[in-house]
Amino acid sequence: MTERHPQERETRYPVQVELAVAWGEMDALGHVNNVVYFRYFESARIAYFSRLGASFSPAGPIVASASCDFLAPLAYPDTLRVGVGVTRVGTTSFTMRYELTSRARGLVAARGRTVCVWYDYALGAKARLPDPLRVRLDELEDSA
């Protein structure tokens, strides 16, 4: 799941969020539950979208697929840094990469990927990424 798609550029993380692990995010095995990593990625993704400043109406991104490689277990207490970047911009979709670093453990604990499809809610169908969004994506990525 970590191979690079031919059109993808090198992964950079222009947007970073810092998140505190909540005690209640641990499961019966005493580690942060696997599911919660995707919540962490979501928080980073939303922050990225916010930085994009794009209008998500009448069309916007929907997550078509998501994946995560769990590299190290996490536990409370810890502070996480999640970096997020866009590594591929297609006609109707783009790929985002995530890297989650544990401050307590001093290591990368997970890497992830989502493919977001640009979806026209009114039409109920995927749509071409608007040119201003492409420009803004490039600007944000180049700022990394």
Residues at the contact surface with a copy of itself, assessed by CB under 8 A: 1, 19-20, 22-24, 26-28, 30, 33-36, 38-39, 42-43, 46, 50, 62-70, 76-77
Using alpha carbons only, give the angle 12, 15, 16 rounded to the nearest 5 degrees: 105
- Amino acid at position 34, single letter: N
Supply 125's token pair.
Answer: 């169908």
Q: Which is nearer to a copy of itself, 76 or 88 (CB)?
A: 76
Nearest in space to 102 (alpha carbons), one of 32, 15, 30 = 32
Q: Which residue has the tokens 């997550």?
A: 63
Q: Which is nearer to a copy of itself, 121 or 135 (CB)?
A: 121
Q: Which is nearer to a copy of itself, 68 or 137 (CB)?
A: 68
Give min distance, CB of 67 to a copy of itself, in A: 4
Q: Which is nearer to a copy of itself, 106 or 131 (CB)?
A: 106
Give min distance, CB of 46 to a copy of itself, in A: 4
Nearest in space to 74 (alpha carbons), one of 42, 45, 101 = 101
